[in-house]
Amino acid sequence: MFFITKLFSIILILSSIISSSWLLLQVYYLKSIKNGLEIEKKEEDKEPFFSIIVAIKNEDQKIVKELISNLIALDYDKYEVIIVSDDPKEYVSNIISSTGVSWNNIKIVRRERPIGRKAGALNYATKLANGEYFIFLDSEARVNKDFLRKICKYLDKEPLALHVEIRNHENFIEKIYSETTNFAMKSLFLSRFQKGLYIFPNGSAIVISRDTLSKIGFWKEGIVTEDLELGIRAALKGKQFTYVHDILVSLLSPRALFDLYYQIERWAYGSGELFIYGLKLFSKGFKGVEGYIYVIQWGIYSVFIFVLAIVASLQMLLHLSMSTYIISILIFSISLLIYSSSFKISEDEAYLVSIATIWAAIIGFTKGLFKLNFSWKVTPKIRSNTSKPLVLRVLQYIFFIIALTNLIYNNIFSSLILLLLSISIFIIDT
């Protein structure tokens, strides 16, 4: 039993170090951004034909109509817009009739057999597309009129991952989400690109030629985070994405806490889903190892809280010392404090977003790792009535019951930890 206790003590402290290392690595990336390293731009010597592709399902019709208005106003002649819907016929018919679009180069089509998740819809659209270059956007994406003209200057460096920003800042969730998005664009995209590391594109803002996408192998159908998987295959086949920081695509933030939760759970699921496949990146040496860390980041970020919950729940059998708990918590807390200081967030409710993010990461990554059934939820961007997930409600009471049991056996410190974990879930309610 002594050996088991020692083993779990090491695992707990090691998990704290692993999670802390990822937080501190992001801070390092942010602090090490170099100024004056602009990507060389070419003058527009050609105007290729672009196909702008958007896949939609259960999207608010107002969002889709605004997307169409935004895209048909671009200051460029040679392009088309293809919107692929997996919605009922009535929805698609209403979109077509209510927009009143007469422009010949916009196509709104419906898949009769909506298979392969979003990746299936994107592949379907590429078969209809006429463009030499594909641009993949989300339905809430908005771009400036000179969007395509700017892209022309970087086409010799495609495939491209573009800079995304959040345009709505009304409530505390939107403000925090906007700030964390800005942080990610600088630390995980701009800084990593400057260091020559692999860039894994955001599916909301990708530019790629037909030829390159064909060589990579198009989109992997059935994958939850199809953009991350595409980025892995691109790296394995020597097709590095160029990050372009000066071409903006504006997006919308989730409006409610559990909308944010489900979105992060989806990202974390994809991270866990690609845990094994991503190991292929090791064949690319140091860059590949670093790329793999990026791929499984949601698991790394949340592994300490996950292990802490398990170890505290098993304290009646493990009998870990209080000092082991304190050391591991102290390591993680210091790194979290340093990480948090990198954000310009003044919202008092920021802790709610942090708690929801950690639990979404834990649950999503675990589901993805074991390939559990995943129900895709479109993140509402206008209105929301999303409630707390059942799994959180169950965990909340499980932790509380185990905390009481630990207390009966006089395991006060582990009981306190479990009680705090239970309370953390309780307070993130609508």
pLDDT tens-digit readout, 51-109: 999 999 888 888 998 999 999 999 999 999 999 998 888 888 887 777 666 667 888 89
pLDDT in tens, 285-332: 999 999 999 999 999 999 999 999 999 999 999 999 999 999 999 999
Which pairing describes strands 160-166 and 242-251: parallel, antiparallel, or unpaired? parallel
Q: What is the pLDDT of residue 336?
A: 94
Give me the chain's average pLDDT, please: 92
Q: What are the domain boundaries of the chain?
A: 2-29+300-427, 49-291
pLDDT tens column, 329-368: 999 999 999 999 888 776 667 889 999 999 999 999 999 9
Say which amino acid occupies 109: V
Cite the beta strand spans of 142-219 per DSSP E.
160-166, 205-209
pLDDT in tens, 230-287: 999 999 999 999 999 999 999 999 999 999 999 999 999 999 999 999 999 999 999 9
Pair 241, 200: CB distance under 8 Å: yes
Helix (H, G, I), strand (E, B) or coil at 268: helix
What is the rounded average pLDDT of the residues 152-160? 95
* The pLDDT of residue 382 is above 90: no
Tell me how many degrees the CA angle 275-279-284 measures, rounded to the nearest 5: 145
What is residue 158's DSSP assignment?
A: -
Distance CA 320, CA 13 (A): 11
Q: Distance of CA 95 to CAs 67, 84, 85, 100, 102, Å?
A: 11, 12, 10, 9, 13
The answer to whether 260 and 254 have CB atoms below 8 angstroms apart is: yes
The DSSP annotation for 300-366 comes to HHHHHHHHHHHHHHTHHHH---HHHHHHHHHHHHHHHHHHHTTS----TTHHHHHHHHHHHHHHHHH
- Candidate from 75-84, 113-122, 256-265, 380-389 with smallest mean pLDDT: 380-389
Domain 49-291 in CATH 3.90.550.10: yes
The predicted structure's pLDDT at residue 170 = 87
With pLDDT > 70 as the criterion, what percentage of the chain qualifies? 94
**How many angstroms separate the CA atoms of 200 and 381, rounded?**
24
244 near 162, Cβ under 8 Å? yes
Q: State CA 255 to chain mean position distance.
A: 16
CB-based contact 219:232 (threshold 8 Å)? no
Distance separating alpha carbons of residues 30 and 301, to the nearest angstrom: 17
Closest CA to 308 of 401, 229, 417, 416: 417
Give the C-alpha separation, 68 to 96, whole Å. 10
pLDDT at 37 > cutoff 70: no
* pLDDT for position 104: 75
Predicted pLDDT at 368: 96
Strand segments (E) across 57-209: 79-85, 106-110, 133-137, 160-166, 205-209
- The more confident residue out of 70 and 379 is 70
Q: pLDDT (tens digit, 9 = 90+) per residue, 133-143?
A: 999 999 999 99
What is the Cα–Cα distance from 59 to 97, expressed in whole angstroms?
16
Cβ atoms within 10 Å of 409's Cβ, excluding its own:
11
